[in-house]
Structure formats: C-alpha cells, structure tokens
Amino acid sequence: MSIGIRNGTIVTPSDRYRADIMIEGEKIAAIGSGVADRVDSVIDAEDMLVLPGGIDGHTHFGGGSQEAPMTGYETSAAAVLGGTTCVVDFAPQQPELGLLASALKHRREAEGVSAVDFGLHSVVMYPQASIFDELGALVDAGISSIKLFMAYKGTPLYSTDDVILRMLRKSGELGILTMIHAENADMIADFQRQLLSEGKTEPRYHAVSRPPFAEAEATYRAIMLAKAARAPIFIVHVSCKEAMEIVRDAGMSGDPVFGETCPHYLTLGVENLARPGFEGAKYVCSPPLRECAHHDSLWSALQKRWLQTVGSDHCGIRFAGQKDLGRQDFTKIPNGCPGVENRLAVLYTYGVSTGKLSLERMVDVFAATPARLYGLYPRKGGLLPGGDADIVVFDPRFRGRISNSDSLQGLDYTPYEGMAQIGRAEKVLLRGRLCVDGGKYIGAAGQGKFIHRVPFGAAYEGRRRSA
C-alpha cells in the first residue's frame, strides 16, 4: 500500500519546509511537491509538523532486581504513543553468561512482543576476562555499543577503572561506542553510610548522598580514561552543570566525547524528593534530580550542541510494592523513573515553546543525532527517500496535561503528573504502518523489529589516523 502525507511542514535538524511525502511499503519513496498525488490513502497534515520518528537511546525494558523487576516490552507501545519509533535498550549481562549470550537472550524476550523497533546496548555486569574477546561477535550481531557503571559499588553493576580502561581500548579498536554512568562510587558509599548512621533515611537524602561533584569527578575521570585509550566515549544522563561543562570542554577540544541528558533533569527539581508521605520515592533516580538552577544550563548545552542527545532513561518500576522497599532506608529504593512516553512532549513544551530549544535542534536531539551515534542512520532518524517510513505528524495546537491515567507505561505513577503539555504526536507511522491516530495507540503488539546497528567508528577512525 502507498500512503501520502500532504500539506505538512517537514522539520529537519537544519530546516523546515512545506512538502509532501510518499510512502511505499515500509519505506519513504519520495519527498517533494505533488509526490503524493497517486497513492492509495492520504494523511492530511495541514497545520501540523512532520517529524522523523524519535530514537530513544536510553531505555530499560526488563532488568532491575529480583525484588523490583522492571516492566518489559509488553509496555513498549508507550514509546510509539510518544513519537518514538525506535529504542536502543540495555541488555544487562546475566549471571554465568557472557555479553553476547545475554544480549541474544534479551533479543529473544523482545521479539514478538515489542511494539517499537529496537536495538540493544550490551551492559557489563560480570567483567570476567572472556568478555573482552566477545566484542567482535557483538558487532557482528548488530550491537555496536556497550555500557559500564562507575557507580553502585558492591553490586554487579560496578566496574573498576582498570576494567573500564581495558574495555575502552578494545571497543575503540572495533568502533564500539562505550557508554559510561559516571558517579564516584566511593564518595557515594561513604555519604550513604554517614547519613544512615545519623538516622537520615528519607528519600530526600538520596540526592544528598550523590552531590554534583561526585558526578563531575567521575565524568572527568571517565573522559581521561578514554583519552588514555584513544577511544570515543558517551557520558549518559548528565544531570548537572558541573558534569556538563566537563563534557563540553572535552568535546570543544576535539576529543570524541559525547553526552546525553534526560527530560527529568531538564524539568524536575530535587524538591520532589522531599514530598510528604514517601511520595519522594517516585523521583529516586541516579544521578539524582538537582536544584532547578541546573535546568537552564542543560537546556543551553543542548541548544549549543555541548550535549548531543536526550534519552528518557525509562525504568518501569512501580511505586507500590517496589519503590516502597526503601521506606526505612533510602538506599534500598529501586533507582529509576518512567518517561519513554513523555520525551517529545517535554522537549516541545518546556524547550521549544519556551524558546530554550529551536524546533530544528529538538529534531536533532530527539531523532537525528542519536541515530547517527548509535549506528542507525540513515535508515532511522531522518526523513529521507529509502529510509524507514518512521514519521510523526505532530499537532502543535494541542493543549493538555500529562496524566498517568491515560499512559501506556503500565505503572502506577508518572513523575510528570499534572504538568502542562503543549503539542502531541497526533499520528505516528512505524515503517509505514499507522500506529497512532488522533493521539491514540492503534498498533499491534509484536510489530517491532530488531534493528542491526553498524559500528560507530568510521568517522572516528579517520580522525584518529590523522591525529
């Protein structure tokens, strides 16, 4: 079937213009004036913005702990409803399994269930020597990024500096992008012990135990490890001005250093952790929410290209029965907040509509740049002939409020409850299939495909050889 999208304003990272789009099967066939004249069906996008489907490079569908497992791909329609047509999900290494076997297990769990197209990041949790020999096989399997944690000492997530350095050396050789959760684990452990010994157990002490300088120090150290390894590095979920400036300075000096922030760090403040009745637990994530003074610095960093992407860091953890495991001890509150459904709404409402982010730059951080960094472009992340017909018809006239009552995230809360929303994804097409219509999800479970990603390294390798 062929579909035409007419009368809309197409937005790219560099331009906006009026044109029609012709879709044949799963692909964009043509863009231009009159190209949609002979099609089987037409979508009228008058007064609408036509955007590429979003790429959310930071989601956690599945995983978590045995006591607090995260919701899985059965809730992934929430991504599509929010204008995201491809996620790159984290595949944690499983006990007694290597990186590849763990990733392939995660892929099997998603296939036939996921409503959104998906790629995978590998996650180091058990750094036995053999994992370093698996990296080439990961690339062959279409997994071209890997994540390590500098935080969470005393858990399988934590990696020492020597493991990170060795991984950076090997991944840099293969064009794998290494992603780092940068927080100083020793500082945090010491602050947590001190606070608990003083009887300070409430959720608000989560932020006290993880101050901005703990994030900034680890960010600097991670970048220096990457510099030693001569490898690219991606700092995930930058939450504060101090860490952002370290990423900014490294990138401006010409090093292959990239950074991401998240919608909650752009809009929510640390005061939420002090909400009464243990409500603050809903806002426990790491790094923690910061003082609102950091918001403008992060918005500015996005607009000025000092940070490159916005990922949701979606974690499907329930409040009742999961977050409340930490009622007597904030260190036992499962970390993470949902948000895969709200990324576009937050960017448009609190960035574009307030003048903090241009519309073109929103498209860049929402879709185009993550597609490039994660090895998905030009198949994903743009509106290009030959690319997948992943398209959002966005209505900027919509006015409403974010509410968990109409969310598809499958949880008992949203951290954005009651916040104003300007604009919404009126229609969403995933590979040419209409999945959202009138702001309502009409797609099918299991329609998502695994997307084989190419290595990051081509552009980087050229830079390194000339250095």
Residues in a beta bridge with 51: 392
Tokens of 131: 């994992």
Q: In CATH, what class is 54-378?
A: alpha beta
Asked if 437 contacts 427 with a C-beta cutoff of 8 angstroms, the reply is yes
- Which contiguous run of DSSP H or E holds residue 458? helix 458-466
Residues in a beta bridge with 464: none
According to DSSP, residue 335 is labeled: P
* Amino acid 296: pLDDT: 98
Q: How confident is the model over 408-429, as pLDDT tens digits?
A: 999 999 999 999 999 999 999 9
Asked if 230 contacts 293 with a C-beta cutoff of 8 angstroms, the reply is no
Asked if 336 contacts 285 with a C-beta cutoff of 8 angstroms, the reply is yes
According to DSSP, residue 352 is labeled: I
Compute the distance between CA of residue 291 and CA of residue 289 in angstroms, rounded to an integer: 7
* Amino acid 241: pLDDT: 98
Tokens of 340: 């895969």
Residue 88 CB burial class (10 angstroms; 0-12, 13-18, ≥19): buried
Compute the distance between CA of residue 265 and CA of residue 287 in angstroms, rounded to an integer: 9
Tokens of 123: 């996650």
**Which candidate, 202, 215, 228, 302, places its Cα nearest to that of 258?**
302
* Amino acid 459: pLDDT: 38
Asked if 337 contacts 21 with a C-beta cutoff of 8 angstroms, the reply is no
Query: Nearest 5°: phi and psi at 136?
Result: -60, -40
Q: Name the amino acid, one letter, at 75.
A: T
Q: How confident is the model over 229-281, as pLDDT tens digits?
A: 999 999 999 999 999 999 999 999 999 999 999 999 999 999 999 999 999 99
* Amino acid 457: pLDDT: 63
* Amino acid 463: pLDDT: 35
Tokens of 335: 């970390």
Tokens of 416: 């954005």
According to DSSP, residue 130 is labeled: G
* Amino acid 62: pLDDT: 85
Residue by residue, pLDDT tens for the chain (467 residues) are 899 999 999 999 999 999 999 999 999 999 999 998 889 999 999 999 999 999 999 999 988 777 778 999 999 999 999 999 999 999 999 998 999 999 999 999 999 999 999 999 999 999 888 999 999 999 999 999 999 999 999 999 999 999 999 999 999 999 999 999 999 999 999 999 999 999 999 999 999 999 999 999 999 999 999 999 999 999 999 999 999 999 999 999 999 999 999 999 999 999 999 999 999 999 999 999 999 999 999 999 999 999 999 999 999 999 999 999 999 999 999 999 999 999 999 999 999 999 999 999 999 999 999 999 999 999 999 999 999 999 999 999 999 999 999 999 999 999 999 999 999 999 999 999 999 999 999 999 999 999 999 998 643 343 333 33
DSSP string, 82-116: TTEEEEEEEEEPPTT--HHHHHHHHHHHHTTT-SS
**Which candidate, 301, 217, 220, places its Cα nearest to that of 255?**
220
